[in-house]
């Protein structure tokens, strides 16, 4: 279910990227890099979902694909947002870094899950959680690049007129 939602977000993102490029070469390069990432991610998710779980090579195939995804996510984290557009794409860099860290951890934990031919339920749950967190950040990035704000109870956005009262409430900025 989450993967299908992400694929639809990717399709929307690709459409936006294809139509949103302007005259600015740095912005065009950024859009091209993001387009390449999302297309590669879509391909990678399709490969992961097409692995036959009953195959003798299913675990090896899955681990290899997760390793490739970890590299792909690191490439995302390395994409530089053009200086003139940092305000417009606020938080994309942070979410990219977090997604990369989570996917790297997920791949590592999945290797641990299947170490020595066994299966560890506790480590598998941690691996799954890291994978889901990585994909959630990819979803956030797609939403931000569309000029919208993610609607998630775990994210708090502050306007310039607000500051946070770390004792529990928001207070107006002075």
The pLDDT assigned to 167 comes to 57
Residues 6+ apart with CB under 8 A from 58: 51, 52
The structure tokens listed for 3 are: 């993967």
Mean pLDDT of 136-144: 92
Read off the pLDDT of residues 12-45 as tens digits, 9 standing for 90 and up: 555 555 455 446 888 899 999 999 999 999 999 9
The domain spans of the chain are 2-150
- Say whether pTM exceeds 0.85: no
Cα dist. 103→45, 63, 77 in Å? 13, 12, 11
> What integer best gives the mean pLDDT of the chain?
83
């Amino acid at each position: 279910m989450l993967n299908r939602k992400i694929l639809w977000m990717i399709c929307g993102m690709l459409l936006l990227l294809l139509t949103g490029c302007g005259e600015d070469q740095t912005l065009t390069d950024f859009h091209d890099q993001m387009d390449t990432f999302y297309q590669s991610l879509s391909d990678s998710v399709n490969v992961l979902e097409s692995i036959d779980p009953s195959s003798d090579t299913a675990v090896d195939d899955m681990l290899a694909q997760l390793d490739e995804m970890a590299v792909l996510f690191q490439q995302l984290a390395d994409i530089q947002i053009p200086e003139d557009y940092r305000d417009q794409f606020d938080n994309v860099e942070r979410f990219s870094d977090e997604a990369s860290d989570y996917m790297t951890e997920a791949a590592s934990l999945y290797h641990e899950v299947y170490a020595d031919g066994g299966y560890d339920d506790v480590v598998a749950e941690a691996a799954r959680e890291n994978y889901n967190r990585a994909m959630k950040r990819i979803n956030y990035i797609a939403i931000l690049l569309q000029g919208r704000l993610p609607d998630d109870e775990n994210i708090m956005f502050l306007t310039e007129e607000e500051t946070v009262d770390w004792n529990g409430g928001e207070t107006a900025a002075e």
